[in-house]
Amino acid sequence: MPSYTAPTKDMQFVLHDVLGASTQDIPGYEEMDRDFTGAVLEEAGKLAQEVLHPLNVVGDTQGCKLENGIVRTPDGFKEAFDQVRDGGWTALDCDTQYGGQGLPYLMQTGVGEILSSANMAFNMYQGLTHGAYSAIHAHGTDAQKAKWLPKMVTCEWTGTMNLTEPHCGTDLGLMRTKAVPQEDGSYRITGQKIFISAGDHDMSDNIVHLVLAKIQGAPEGIKGVSLFIVPKVLVDDDGNLGARNGVSVGKIEEKMGIHGNSTCVMNYDEAEGYLLGDAHKGMRAMFTMMNEARLGVGLQGYAQAEIAYQNARAYALDRLQGRDVTGTKNPDGPADPLIVHPDIRRNLMDQKSFVEGARAFVFWGAMMIDRAHRNADEDADGLISLLTPIIKGFLTDKGFEYATAAQQVYGGHGYIEEWGMSQFARDARIAMIYEGANGVQALDLVGRKLAQDGGKHVMAFFDMVKSFCKENAEDETLKAGFLEPLKAASKDLQSAAMYFMQSGMKNPNAALAGSYDFMTMFGHVALGLMWAKMAKTAGGMLGDDGADRDFLEAKIATGRYYMARQLPATGMHLSRIQSGPETVMELEPTAF
Amino acid sequence: MPSYTAPTKDMQFVLHDVLGASTQDIPGYEEMDRDFTGAVLEEAGKLAQEVLHPLNVVGDTQGCKLENGIVRTPDGFKEAFDQVRDGGWTALDCDTQYGGQGLPYLMQTGVGEILSSANMAFNMYQGLTHGAYSAIHAHGTDAQKAKWLPKMVTCEWTGTMNLTEPHCGTDLGLMRTKAVPQEDGSYRITGQKIFISAGDHDMSDNIVHLVLAKIQGAPEGIKGVSLFIVPKVLVDDDGNLGARNGVSVGKIEEKMGIHGNSTCVMNYDEAEGYLLGDAHKGMRAMFTMMNEARLGVGLQGYAQAEIAYQNARAYALDRLQGRDVTGTKNPDGPADPLIVHPDIRRNLMDQKSFVEGARAFVFWGAMMIDRAHRNADEDADGLISLLTPIIKGFLTDKGFEYATAAQQVYGGHGYIEEWGMSQFARDARIAMIYEGANGVQALDLVGRKLAQDGGKHVMAFFDMVKSFCKENAEDETLKAGFLEPLKAASKDLQSAAMYFMQSGMKNPNAALAGSYDFMTMFGHVALGLMWAKMAKTAGGMLGDDGADRDFLEAKIATGRYYMARQLPATGMHLSRIQSGPETVMELEPTAF
């Protein structure tokens, strides 16, 4: 059976030593001192280890079942959900006006990693609720907010997001779900939505569906889409639950993973719904919280790699197989532990250097989101908008890749379900697909974000790397294996951006055919920057009284691995991009 | 539901136009003319499409069940196995002396791809039998061969390979299964074996287990391991089935994929067994057929990528989503097909260029095996021994990667089981693990094969690339995008080999820490060479009367994609290797 321990020490290092959270000039951050975040993370870790993680395999094995129109969650989920609710874990960064705790999104992100590592499928029930909460909070009327939010903050009522239909996912302009206005100002919603995570279940009194639909007579395409609140159970003006609405579950999908989460086909049959935000501006409303939602999915990617890594490491330290070619390490045993073998280490270092770099990237991104929201900082908003598709796309690609690599450490034991390694890979796989498939993230990055505000934000990113390298040119730690690789990788990335600008003007396919490579190399540069920051911090702390030298030296060594063994990927991606769009576009469709 | 069509046209192109099979100076190849192989492949395709592929999802969904000590295969498997047997498909390359058809291994390989694409889990029952057949054929006494082989050739009796035990997989020297000699010359075998594919089932009258065990008093470690024939049902001297042997199924493993194949824990309790080959030489006997077995697993890797690609292509041509940014391609429809989007094409081209290159590599490798066996050609044997870990490791890594990439084309539909794309990825995953995990392949390549016979075989490979480039320096097709990338990639590979020679002498970890990168870059160079050969062939045929220009031009374009977009990976791998072992080996085990 797999195990999980919340990596609170690594988290605290990022939060305080690297990011200096409590010293940041962001409202609310003054509370975020080391003791406070430490206590919160420790408590979340306890919940994760004692309650959520033991249910991870249960959820995978039992899945959700549709019985007489009602979805039954796996054994123990309901009780665990009560504990999460009672512990206040659903309300961390919610508005205090509606019962939330008003903590920074950064705090929510740290906790989110822990809960997501421990049980991704389970944590999605509250994650989806949080997304729906954010949409209502941003676009609802005061009356709507007062009616829906307090119960959603506590997850007494959970939420969902309904976008996809059988014939359209990415291209939502093709949507067919209809909304017919009623005399009382409400709408009747009719249509079918698919792939609705947490679409139905038995863990809350009500479910607040946010549904995209077209109002009769709306403009064609994506500009005619509106967003509606459609509750499972109707709620009167005093907040009492009334009759069932015209919402039903068509079926539960059988999936590759996240079996503990109910992925439903939802049928809306003249269901009563209430317009959220402006008519025909549904996409805008839905996308208000997109940066957060996509950062949350990127987090899922590395969170699965983290738990997979923890277990691969444990197995590599424990399993005796073969001998160290440079000299036996376990002479009294029948063989040496796996970890003596260079290729096992190579694999583990790939995982470890990715996960720790990704954590720093996501925490730093969460701080940008806080800065954008709490300080109304447009530069921070622009920067995180640029980086969001990279956080989502790169971290979920790599998260899956390394969950799979962790599985490999187990040999045949990794392939059988008993050891739990297969589940981490199968669960991680979805994060590459939902909330915008990763190819769409690459398109968003290259087709939209790069040129946004005249390219200001990508220039800001390059400047950030450049300034960092300049300011730390004499840093002893960074001189040894950090600055040169970072500069080289950043230069490759700039060359790629330059290629897009020059060639993409003539032929947009020149940029689009290289979009995926660009997203990936950007991810490497971002993680390279994070590693340089972490190494600098760790190097600076080595001389402190009582410094935890083993921990700090391991950070630096792990960072050096990333620079030496991962950053060279940028050259390859640049070559691919510069090879041009011709080989990608040459074949006639019928010749595939 | 997914579909499958045997790619016989592509196969014939490789067999005849590229490899010139029937003109090769190899006994038995004179029969392999275009009509003959075409007829065999078409028939195999029919069987695959009509019988085996429809059972692929059935096998995945139902799995195998252990009922009262007997394993039940999924509905329809038994009848399908009868058809495979009756059609003579199990006997293709078996010895005519024992009822086989005596065809080249190359023919078997072509058919194997088709059957494996159609239903990997199903095809393993005969694949394992073939492995056991080969071991008995190579090491059995005449009496053993006469007794066991005829029924194994027809799969009336199937076979298994029993190596792994709970505490040892790669390191078989730790084995505990014991063999106690009896007065009649037989042995009593006692122990537990795990991960035994096709370990038990209801599709044959008997199962011939090949079991590694240690004879009482044998030398310690791997040098004390012997190989035994241990039938499920005892067979008398006249070939009649008698009593059940002391062999039972402990349980069936729940796995990530290949559910249609019964992966068993096998318990041997004083089971009667017969020594196969010499005492204490079991590993040598087991590894006689290793090149074939590993090539067969490499084949599984690209065969799953092939069927996944076929379905991704169909979906990309059919699914309407978004518009071509350079101008609508489907003005009368609500949207353009997915295939207009550059990143979808990039993904499909990755898959297509890999699968076709892999097929050429494996077919060419199968020809080397025939040359080694049928012509007793030691150079061919040395070369294929060198390339075997690459065929196994690289093709299964990439096979899984591209089966996963094919899944991505489907968006959310790729994650739900209904569309079948998840199964291709889940099934493909095992090929990276069994028959020697891919890290072990890399170790075999760098630690053993590179230096074998004084490095003669790797030099032969480099010479082959060099000669090819020299001889074709003026080829018009190759001048445009083939020769330069191939030379550059081959140079990178040689630099890596040189680095290993120079640094590995002082520190073996310098080579071992780069072994996986070396295997991967070697794979790229090999596929690059195959693509150059295919492009040259296609280019040469373009001027022929009645040439299928669309087909040939697509081959050249696909090859050019591989050279432009895949070969640059060698530079990255070389950088990683040359960064040295320090970052890989630096951390203390406790610091992971």
Per the CB < 8 Å rule, is A576 touching B586? no
Query: Residue B288 pLDDT more than 80?
Result: no
What residues of B are in contact with residue A584 (Cβ under 8 Å)?
342, 345-346, 349, 561, 565
* pLDDT tens per residue across span A368-397: 999 999 999 999 999 999 999 999 999 999
Contacts 24+ apart (CB under 8 A), A457-462: A457/A379, A457/A382, A457/A383, A457/A385, A457/A386, A458/A386, A458/A497, A460/A379, A460/A382, A460/A383, A461/A383, A461/A386, A461/A387, A462/A490, A462/A493, A462/A494
> Which residue, among A308, A325, A300, has the nearest Cα to A410 in the 3D structure?
A308
- The CA distance from A578 to A496, in Å, is 7
Domain C-terminal end among B254, B280, B306: B280
- The CA distance from B186 to A33, in Å, is 74
Query: Which residues, numbered 491 to 530 in chain A, qualify as contacts with chain B under a Cβ-Cβ cut-off of 8 Å?
Result: 507-509, 512-513, 515-516
**Do the strands B206-215 and B157-162 form a parallel or antiparallel pair, or are they unpaired?**
parallel
Three-state DSSP class for A517?
A: helix
Q: Chain A: nearest CA to B264, how far in angstroms?
A: 11
> Which residue, among A237, A271, A231, A263, has the nearest Cα to A63 in the 3D structure?
A263
Per cent of chain B over pLDDT 90 is: 96
Domain C-terminal end among B280, B313, B334: B280
The model's confidence at residue B287, banded by pLDDT at 50, 70 and 90, is confident
Sequence-separated (6 or more) residues with CB below 8 Å from residue A386: A445, A449, A450, A452, A457, A458, A461
For tokens 């009334």, the residue is A242
Catalytic positions of A, written as ranges: 435
B214 touching chain A per CB within 8 A: no
Q: Is residue B262 situated within a structural domain? A: yes
* pLDDT tens per residue across span A20-54: 999 999 999 999 999 999 999 999 999 999 999 99
- The CA distance from B454 to A189, in Å, is 76
Chain B's closest residue to A575, CA to CA, is B568
Partner residues linked to A137 by β-bridges: none
- The CA distance from B295 to B105, in Å, is 11
Can you spell out the DSSP letters for B91-156? STTS-GGGT-----HHHHHHHHHHHHHH-HHHHHHHHHHHHHHHHHHHH--HHHHHHHHHHHHTTS
- The CA distance from B21 to B12, in Å, is 10
The model's confidence at residue A364, banded by pLDDT at 50, 70 and 90, is very high
Q: B61 and B172 share a domain? A: no
- The pLDDT of residue A148: 98
Chain A's closest residue to B571, CA to CA, is A572
B429 touching chain A per CB within 8 A: yes
Which of B421, B584, B588 best tests the A interface by mutation, with the highest count of A CBs <10 A? Answer: B584
Catalytic positions of B, written as ranges: 435
Burial class of residue B199 (count of CB atoms within 10 Å of its CB; 0-12, 13-18, 19+) = buried
Q: Which of A168, A349, A439 is nearest residue B584 as measured by Cβ atoms?
A: A349
Out of A78-82, A182-186, B112-116, B290-294, least confident range: B290-294
A290, A388 contact by CB (below 8 A):
yes
Q: Is residue A12 situated within a structural domain? A: yes
- DSSP class of residue B587 equals S
- DSSP class of residue A255 equals B
Rg of chain A over Cα atoms, rounded to whole angstroms, equals 24
The model's confidence at residue A121, banded by pLDDT at 50, 70 and 90, is very high
Query: Residue B111 pLDDT more than 90?
Result: yes
- The CA distance from A2 to A54, in Å, is 9
What residues of B are in contact with residue A195 (Cβ under 8 Å)?
412, 416
Query: Residue B402 pLDDT more than 90?
Result: yes
Q: Is residue B143 situated within a structural domain? A: no
Query: Which residues, numbered 459 to 498 in chain A, qualify as contacts with chain B under a Cβ-Cβ cut-off of 8 Å?
Result: 481
Q: B308 and B268 share a domain? A: no
Query: Which residues, numbered 127 to 166 in chain A, qualify as contacts with chain B under a Cβ-Cβ cut-off of 8 Å?
Result: 164
Q: B271 and B303 share a domain? A: no
Q: Chain A: nearest CA to B101, how far in angstroms?
A: 34
Chain B's closest residue to A574, CA to CA, is B568
Query: Which residues, numbered 181 to 210 in chain A, qualify as contacts with chain B under a Cβ-Cβ cut-off of 8 Å?
Result: 194-195
**CA B366 to chain centroid:** 11
A95, A154 contact by CB (below 8 A):
no
What residues of A are in contact with residue B339 (Cβ under 8 Å)?
589, 592
φ/ψ of B70, rounded to 5, equals: -115, 135
Query: Which residues, numbered 68 to 127 in chain A, qualify as contacts with chain B under a Cβ-Cβ cut-off of 8 Å?
Result: none
The model's confidence at residue A504, banded by pLDDT at 50, 70 and 90, is confident
What residues of B are in contact with residue A326 (Cβ under 8 Å)?
507-509
Q: Which of A342, A417, A515 is nearest residue B585 as measured by Cβ atoms?
A: A342
Q: B371 and B449 share a domain? A: yes
Three-state DSSP class for A83?
A: helix
Q: Is residue B376 situated within a structural domain? A: yes
Q: B464 and B528 share a domain? A: yes
- The CA distance from A304 to A424, in Å, is 6
> Which residue, among B191, B165, B177, B534, has the nearest Cα to B363 in the 3D structure?
B534
B315, B347 contact by CB (below 8 A):
no
- The pLDDT of residue A542: 97
Per the CB < 8 Å rule, is A169 touching B411? yes
Sequence-separated (6 or more) residues with CB below 8 Å from residue B93: B100, B101, B102, B103, B104, B105, B107, B108
B408 touching chain A per CB within 8 A: yes
Can you spell out the DSSP letters for A24-45? SSSTTGGG--HHHHHHHHHHHH
B349, B558 contact by CB (below 8 A):
yes
Q: Looking at the 3D structure of chain A, how many domains does it have?
A: 4
- The pLDDT of residue A80: 98
> Which residue, among B251, B259, B2, B309, has the nearest Cα to B120 in the 3D structure?
B259
Domain C-terminal end among A436, A469, A495: A436
Q: B270 and B305 share a domain? A: no
Rg of chain B over Cα atoms, rounded to whole angstroms, equals 24
What residues of A are in contact with residue B516 (Cβ under 8 Å)?
343, 346-347
The model's confidence at residue B1, banded by pLDDT at 50, 70 and 90, is confident
A148, A140 contact by CB (below 8 A):
yes
- The CA distance from A397 to A580, in Å, is 23
B24: number of Cβ within 10 Å = 19
B494, B501 contact by CB (below 8 A):
no
- The pLDDT of residue B291: 82
- The pLDDT of residue A290: 81
Burial class of residue B106 (count of CB atoms within 10 Å of its CB; 0-12, 13-18, 19+) = buried
Structural domain range at position B374: 290-578
- The CA distance from B468 to B476, in Å, is 14
Q: Is residue A2 situated within a structural domain? A: no
The residue-averaged pLDDT of B182-209 equals: 98
- The CA distance from B447 to B411, in Å, is 41
Scanning B507-581, the segments in alpha helix (DSSP H) are 508-512, 515-541, 549-565, 569-578
- The CA distance from A177 to B507, in Å, is 66
Give the domain CATH number at A240.
2.40.110.20
* pLDDT tens per residue across span A458-493: 999 999 999 999 999 999 999 999 999 999 999 999
A224, A207 contact by CB (below 8 A):
no
Copy the structure tokens of residue B287: 């590894």
Per the CB < 8 Å rule, is A194 touching B412? yes
The model's confidence at residue B289, banded by pLDDT at 50, 70 and 90, is confident
Per the CB < 8 Å rule, is A253 touching B416? yes
- The pLDDT of residue B227: 97
Q: A496 and A534 share a domain? A: yes
Q: A566 and A502 share a domain? A: yes
Q: Is residue A425 situated within a structural domain? A: yes
Q: Is residue B64 situated within a structural domain? A: yes
* pLDDT tens per residue across span A404-415: 999 999 999 999
Task: Tell me the torsion sign for CA atoms A278, A281, A284, A286.
Answer: positive
- The CA distance from A355 to A347, in Å, is 13
Copy the structure tokens of residue B30: 């004179």
Can you spell out the DSSP letters for A563-591? HHHTTTHHHHHHHHHHT-SHHHH-S-GGG
Average per-residue pLDDT in chain A?
97
> Which residue, among B4, B239, B251, B31, has the nearest Cα to B118 in the 3D structure?
B4
Q: Chain A: nearest CA to B516, how far in angstroms?
A: 7
Q: B19 and B129 share a domain? A: yes
The residue-averaged pLDDT of B575-580 equals: 97
The model's confidence at residue A511, banded by pLDDT at 50, 70 and 90, is very high
* pLDDT tens per residue across span A213-241: 999 999 998 999 999 999 999 999 999 99
Copy the structure tokens of residue B586: 């630096």
The residue-averaged pLDDT of A573-587 equals: 97
Half-sphere CA count of B113, side-chain side, radius 13 A:
34
B347 touching chain A per CB within 8 A: yes
Per the CB < 8 Å rule, is A169 touching B254? no
Out of A502-511, B522-531, B545-554, least confident range: A502-511
Average per-residue pLDDT in chain B?
97
Query: Residue B454 pLDDT more than 80?
Result: yes
Give the domain CATH number at A412.
1.20.140.10
Q: A426 and A455 share a domain? A: no
- The pLDDT of residue A15: 98
The residue-averaged pLDDT of B51-55 equals: 98
A575 touching chain B per CB within 8 A: yes
B477, B535 contact by CB (below 8 A):
yes
A106, A24 contact by CB (below 8 A):
no
Q: A465 and A420 share a domain? A: no
Q: A425 and A464 share a domain? A: no
- The pLDDT of residue A437: 97
Per the CB < 8 Å rule, is A513 touching B342? yes
> ipTM score here?
0.97
* pLDDT tens per residue across span A248-285: 999 999 999 999 999 999 999 999 999 999 999 999 88
What residues of A are in contact with residue B306 (Cβ under 8 Å)?
none
Copy the structure tokens of residue B151: 């029924």
Chain B's closest residue to A351, CA to CA, is B592
- The pLDDT of residue B505: 84
A398, A161 contact by CB (below 8 A):
no
Q: Which of B313, B512, B587 is nearest residue A554 as measured by Cβ atoms?
A: B587
Q: Is residue B2 situated within a structural domain? A: no
> Which residue, among A315, A413, A348, has the nearest Cα to A557 in the 3D structure?
A348
User: B150: left (phi > 0), else alpha (psi -120 to 50), else beta?
Assistant: alpha
Three-state DSSP class for A433?
A: coil
Q: In which element (H, E) is residue A161 found? A: strand A157-162
Query: Residue A292 pLDDT more than 90?
Result: no
- The pLDDT of residue B185: 97
Q: Which of B254, B437, B550 is nearest residue A408 as measured by Cβ atoms?
A: B437
